[in-house]
Amino acid sequence: MILTVTLNAALDITYQVPALTPHASHRVTEVTERPGGKGLNVARVLAALGHDVTVTGLAGGDTGRTLRNRLAHEPRVTDTLLPVAGATRRTIAVVDATTGDTTQLNEPGPQVSPAEWAAFQSAYEELLRDASAVALCGSLPPGVPVGAYAVLVRAARAAKIPVLLDTSGEPLRRGVAARPDIVKPNSDELAELTGSHEPVQATRDARRRGAHTVVASLGAEGLLAVTPDGTWQATPPSRVRGNPTGAGDSAVAGLLSGLVEALPWPERLARSIALSAATVASPVAGEFDAAAYEELLGRVVVTGAESAA
Amino acid sequence: MILTVTLNAALDITYQVPALTPHASHRVTEVTERPGGKGLNVARVLAALGHDVTVTGLAGGDTGRTLRNRLAHEPRVTDTLLPVAGATRRTIAVVDATTGDTTQLNEPGPQVSPAEWAAFQSAYEELLRDASAVALCGSLPPGVPVGAYAVLVRAARAAKIPVLLDTSGEPLRRGVAARPDIVKPNSDELAELTGSHEPVQATRDARRRGAHTVVASLGAEGLLAVTPDGTWQATPPSRVRGNPTGAGDSAVAGLLSGLVEALPWPERLARSIALSAATVASPVAGEFDAAAYEELLGRVVVTGAESAA
């Protein structure tokens, strides 16, 4: 199975309102709820691709209960989230029906105790035994040390399990130094990590900092992958209109599934780009349109070359 | 005990954000949660005044569980909310730290089945037996018939329990026709009910429609009460600055406590105004500042006279 880690899981709530007006009162016309947090989104896409996935991380409180009840209904997803005393955070996406724009409100997450974090590390090391790959995804809740991902990367490498890291800021900086197999920063995260806004230079710099492979997601420009085997750029066939929520998580699922299927890098990247674009094209935030994925997959352009041996 | 009914209870959530910008993403810096819905707010103020209160209405889902767990910690409040299959709604108040303004997002509430509504009516009739007065407060959740308050008013009157109604729109119109002892509309609700924006005329018209007493809350102008015993106007001593959330519910608690203590109308109105102003003055939305209440109480001006016998 593929293991995904979501330390700061979320109950993702979407509100439809006729129009969002600051300082006014709004009747919400439609409420939808689903399990969220990057690792859970990655798991959902991996499951849709036919992979068995185990999700772990931390969840607690009534919001955590709601989240886990919903996870129980997702096929091919096994829930091994660890209970914590604090309540799982909510994220609220307020969709303005007039403009189609979304305003996002993200709670910080539960306060995690040192004992809870220690218990998680033990559980994670157990889970690694049966994993073919692991993805470490998203922000850290309060109380989890900023070097948490570095610890989890080292444990995966000690267990010889390929590990992908998708986070930002200081947790990314520390995590990269622990030498993960893959990091997948977006342009902003890459610039924050390296100080450079020039993608090729920044991607190379991120590798020098410790990552074996850097796959930078450059929005409409696609993906730039600098790997030990070579450098490739994958570009979507056309500009896709829609909601970009979850597009990065779908790209991670593409990379991870390609890794465990031992696909060559150009195919992994094509899959990631097609999944990502099919997620933007889907009417439901964070889900991908299967027909659009199949159609796009054949049209992704991948350029680049293997390194001279 | 005093009974308060909250058919559309809510988990009131307050988010502090540095500044609310439509279509941007926000990190919430502080999250607070408390039981909400008008009847629960009224109960909290009654309990603070020393009255034993029983709260009833409908609650369900994980949000309902959170709400009930918190209610269990409130002194002098007995929870007899009936469980429903749907989830209790959330309300989100987003407070902009830069301007101090609040943007409100209110979920509609759970879908209530005919069987759940029937079960509530039976439970309500049982609870009336031990009640000295009852307040029917707030909006109706989906599925509860629009004439619900008329049914509940009639049951209270049949049981000879004084009944106060505080709602709006069609549920108010139907409820008034069932001849409640007191209705407490604000200016907008009164104008919607009667078609008149002139308070004295609109208040008289609301009485003709069935309410024995109408106490209209006119914001900074105070309260206008037209009762079978006379007409009074109560005015706050000075304009109070602050958050008006819950001020109307505090006024209801003032009226209801004055009723069961058999205070003369001028004293009931003075208490209502002072509680209402002390709620606006409180730093916490929906709570009243006890010192401000005591200070304001002696300074409320009540004018008017008893009717000629």
Residue-wise pLDDT for B249-269, tens only, equals 999 999 999 999 999 999 999
Determine whether the interchain pair A105/B31 forms a contact, defined as Cβ–Cβ distance below 8 Å.
no
Determine whether the interchain pair A96/B17 forms a contact, defined as Cβ–Cβ distance below 8 Å.
no
Distance (Å) from the C-alpha of residue B68 to the closest C-alpha of chain A? Answer: 12
Is B249 known to be catalytic?
yes
Compute the residue count for chain A.
Answer: 309
For residue B72, give Cα distances in angstroms to A8, A195, B34, B35, B55.
Answer: 29, 53, 12, 10, 11
Predicted confidence band of residue B220 (pLDDT cuts 50, 70, 90): confident
Give chain B positions within 8 Å (CB) of A65. Answer: 62
β-sheet with B10-17: strand ranges across: A25-27, B102-106, B89-96, B10-17, B30-36
- Using CB atoms, pick whichever of A27, A96, A101 lies closest to residue B106: A27
pLDDT recorded at residue B239 = 78
Q: Report the alpha-carbon distance of residue B225 to residue B190 in Å, rounded.
A: 13
pLDDT recorded at residue A257 = 98
Chain B interface test: which of A92, A102, A105 (most B C-beta within 10 Å): A105
Would you list which residues of chain A are within 8 Å, Cβ to Cβ, of chain B? 15, 17, 20-29, 31, 61-63, 65-66, 92, 94, 96, 99, 101-108
Q: Report the alpha-carbon distance of residue A184 to residue A180 in Å, rounded.
A: 11
Identify whether the C-beta of residue A172 lies closer than 8 Å to the C-beta of residue A165.
yes
How big is the A-B interface in CB pairs under 8 Å? 79
Query: Which residue is closest to B142 within chain A, CA to CA?
Result: A29
Residues B30-89: tens digit of each pLDDT: 999 999 999 999 999 999 999 999 999 999 999 999 999 999 999 999 999 999 999 999
Distance (Å) from the C-alpha of residue B90 to the closest C-alpha of chain A? Answer: 10
- Using CB atoms, pick whichever of B28, B105, B108 lies closest to residue A106: B28
For residue B78, give Cα distances in angstroms to A240, B56, B104.
Answer: 56, 9, 29
**Phi-psi map region of A136: left, alpha, beta (phi>0 left; psi -120 to 50 alpha):** beta
**CA B186 from centroid of its chain's CA atoms:** 11
A67-81, B94-108, B203-217: which has the minimum mean pLDDT?
B94-108
Identify whether the C-beta of residue B232 lies closer than 8 Å to the C-beta of residue B272.
no
Q: Report the alpha-carbon distance of residue B30 to residue B87 in Å, rounded.
A: 24
Chain A interface test: which of B34, B92, B245 (most A C-beta within 10 Å): B92
- Using CB atoms, pick whichever of A28, A31, A105 lies closest to residue B17: A105
Identify whether the C-beta of residue A45 lies closer than 8 Å to the C-beta of residue A32.
no
Element (H, E) at A61: helix A61-71
**CA B26 from centroid of its chain's CA atoms:** 32
Identify whether the C-beta of residue A55 lies closer than 8 Å to the C-beta of residue A75.
no
Number of neighbouring beta carbons within 10 Å of residue B24:
13
Query: Which residue is closest to B100 within chain A, CA to CA?
Result: A23
Q: Report the alpha-carbon distance of residue A237 to residue A297 in Å, rounded.
A: 9
- Using CB atoms, pick whichever of A28, A92, A94 lies closest to residue B106: A28
Mean pLDDT of chain A: 94
Domain ranges of chain A: 2-8+37-88+107-306
- Phi, psi (rounded to 5 degrees) for A250: -65, -35
Residues B121-147: tens digit of each pLDDT: 999 999 999 999 999 999 999 999 999
pLDDT recorded at residue A309 = 52
> If you classify domain A2-8+37-88+107-306 with CATH, what class do you get?
alpha beta
Determine whether the interchain pair A107/B28 forms a contact, defined as Cβ–Cβ distance below 8 Å.
yes
- Cβ contacts of B126 within 8 Å, gap of 6 or more: none
- Cβ contacts of A123 within 8 Å, gap of 6 or more: A56, A80, A82
Of A27, A19, A15, A62, which Cα lies nearest the Cα of B141? Answer: A27
- Phi, psi (rounded to 5 degrees) for B73: -95, 0
Distance (Å) from the C-alpha of residue B99 to the closest C-alpha of chain A? Answer: 10
Span B212-241, mean pLDDT?
A: 91
Give chain A positions within 8 Å (CB) of B66. Answer: 61-62
Q: Tell me how far apart the 2 most distant CA atoms of chain B are, in Å.
A: 64
Ranges under pLDDT 50 in chain A = none
**Local structure of A72: helix, strand or coil:** coil
Q: Can you identify the CATH homologous superfamily of domain B1-144?
A: Ribokinase (3.40.1190.20)
Residue type, A162: P
Residue type, A37: G
- Cβ contacts of B130 within 8 Å, gap of 6 or more: B1, B54
Give chain A positions within 8 Å (CB) of B96. Answer: 22-23
- Phi, psi (rounded to 5 degrees) for A13: -115, 130
Compute the residue count for chain B.
Answer: 309
Tokens at A33, concatenated = 């709820």
Span B196-213, mean pLDDT?
A: 95
Determine whether the interchain pair B108/A31 forms a contact, defined as Cβ–Cβ distance below 8 Å.
yes
- Using CB atoms, pick whichever of A15, A23, A66 lies closest to residue B105: A15
Determine whether the interchain pair A23/B105 forms a contact, defined as Cβ–Cβ distance below 8 Å.
no
- Which residues are paired to B17 by β-bridges? B96
Residues A18-67: tens digit of each pLDDT: 999 999 999 999 999 999 999 999 999 999 999 999 999 999 999 999 99
Q: Classify residue B44 as exposed, middle or buried by CB count within 10 Å of its CB (0-12, 13-18, 19+).
A: buried
pLDDT recorded at residue B309 = 52
Q: Report the alpha-carbon distance of residue B207 to residue B182 in Å, rounded.
A: 9
Determine whether the interchain pair B29/A106 forms a contact, defined as Cβ–Cβ distance below 8 Å.
no
Give chain B positions within 8 Å (CB) of A63. Answer: 62
Element (H, E) at A88: none
Q: Report the alpha-carbon distance of residue A221 to residue A204 in Å, rounded.
A: 18
Q: Report the alpha-carbon distance of residue B10 to residue A297 in Å, rounded.
A: 46
